[in-house]
Structure 1
Amino acid sequence: MRLRHKPWATEELERHPHIVIQNPSQHKGKWKELFGNDHPIHVEVGTGKGQFLVGMGVLHPDINYIGIEKYDSVLLTAMERVKESEQPNVKFLNEDVGELLDFFSDEEIDRVYINFTDPWPKNRHEKRRLTYKGYLRLYEQLLKRNGEVHFKTDNQGLFEYSLESFANYGMTLHQVSLDLHRSNYKGNVMTEYEEKFSKKGMRIYRCEAQFRSRKN
């Protein structure tokens, strides 16, 4: 899907530093100070237009949410949603997921969400998939002990690959659904893509993958 370039996006994001955090590396290890509370921190990688994160923020005001999105033209919509809702527990970073270690300290995050990420179907692009072992290693370092990755996609091939990737990494799988909207799972918040695909009758795949306790 081609992204619509909005040349004014970067400047507009910079005008709202309380929502789109500038120089996030300065807050490494101190995100709870920025939010002004001791609530858990959940991070969505590739947050897109922010519908999921804003919805989660409304349902769970006792959790701090941070969305990572590198495309400023896309993140602009997410920022506007938070601006309109005046949600204090939702922030964004206009950054690349691969740079997470620059922005968060070890075991600073409580949960990671990956929703409808690019499947990168060609074998030569495997390392770009956000459920590739290299990214899992990154999440594990930043998540607290027994931290979880919650994953949703419409792409069966990516889902099968991800289940295998999680298992090979030694993660424990929970709530594996091959048809989320026909399951008994409660509390689902849909993304923009999820709404679009489900209206077409497409299956939505979901699972929770938990890292095992690290040995001291």
Structure 2
Amino acid sequence: MRMRKKKWARPELARCPYFVDDPRAQRGKWHGWFRGEGPLYLELGCGKGVFLAEIALRSPRINFLGVDLSRDVLGVARRNIEKAYAAQNRPVDNIALAAHNIEQILLMMDRNDAAERIYINFCNPWPKEKHHKRRLTHPRQLRSYQELLAPGGEIHFKTDDDDLYRATLRYFRECGFEILRQTEDLHAESWMDNIESEHELMFAAQGIPIKAAVARWENANAVST
């Protein structure tokens, strides 16, 4: 469901020091944007930022880039990030937010950005076959991610949708990813490093099993940082 327009979102983002207004200008230069020299992790479709805020707080030496198409959604994410960091008396110093169409991710990133991890949490399953190519885990997208992942870079994927989960495992294999972990009931297996997003909490409360997978891309031709 599309979020209602937030009149305050764009003005607040314009004043936000970690909102990147022109992400395409940073293509190939994302490591230089952050003050710290840590590895770069992405969350594609970061939504309201609950997951992003929590994982970034837990990993202060890692730089996180949250990408979402909607500036209204990113406005909410900014507020949630500010609240989470303020609760721990920390400045927001390892997060960047960018509004961009993820289907065109290579217009804002390239292999010089060498992301070590991509998170894709509860993306649109696009159930109709004619729309499958719009899935964020479709082979068309996975091949784009291969262009910006560091050697050994990983994709961490979660969904409530059975068909999308099964299809994504197939997509990973088709594109040469090695599946490191997979589960049809994440909470039953209790992965120790799991961080729950707002969608995960909602679906789990409804008794819907959470499916998850971690896949690795070995790319000897990528640029190391």
Q: Could you say which TM-score interval applies, normalised by the shorter chain? A: over 0.9
Q: Alpha-carbon deviation of 1:73? A: 1.5
Q: Distance in 1 between matches of 2:14 and 2:145?
A: 27
Unaligned runs of 5+ in 1: none
After TM superposition, the structure 1 = structure 2 runs for residues 144-183 of structure 1, keeping only pairs within 5 Å, are: 144-183=150-189
Q: Secondary structure, in 3 states, of the residue corresponding to 2:147?
A: helix
The two structures, once aligned, show a CA RMSD in angstroms of 1.5
Map 1:2-21; keep pairs closer than 5 Å. Answer: 2-16=2-16, 18-21=17-20
Provide the rounded CA distance (Å) in 2 between the counterparts of 1:101 and 1:166: 19
Which residue identity is paired with 1:13? Answer: L
Q: For residue 40 of structure 2, what is the amino acid of its counterpart?
A: I
Instruction: Return the offset for 1:163.
Output: 0.5
**Cα distance in 1 between the residues matched to 2:63 and 2:221:** 28
**Structure 2 residue 215 is the aligned partner of structure 1 residue 201:** no
The 5-angstrom pairing of residues 181-196 of structure 1 reads: 181-196=187-202
- State the 1:187 CA deviation: 1.5
Shift of 1:139: 0.3
Q: Distance in 1 between matches of 2:50 and 2:221?
A: 37
CA contact (8 A) 1:19 1:82 kept: no
2:100 is aligned with 1:95? yes
Query: Which residue identity is paired with 1:164?
Result: R
TM-score of the two chains, using structure 2 as the length reference: 0.90
Structure 1 residue 30: Cα displacement:
2.2
Is 1:143 paired with 2:149?
yes
What is the TM-score when the length of structure 1 is the normalising length? 0.94
Matched, 1:130 2:136: yes
**Contact 2:36–2:94 (CA under 8 A) maintained in structure 1:** no
Which portions of structure 1, spanning 4 or more consecutive aligned residues, are displaced by more than 6 angstroms? Answer: none
Taking the aligned partners of 2:117 and 2:93, their CA distance within structure 1 comes to 19
Aligned length in residues: 215
Corresponding residue of 1:74? 73
Contact conserved, 1:107 with 1:145, CA < 8 A, in 2? Answer: no
Structure 2: runs of 5+ lacking an equivalent = 86-90
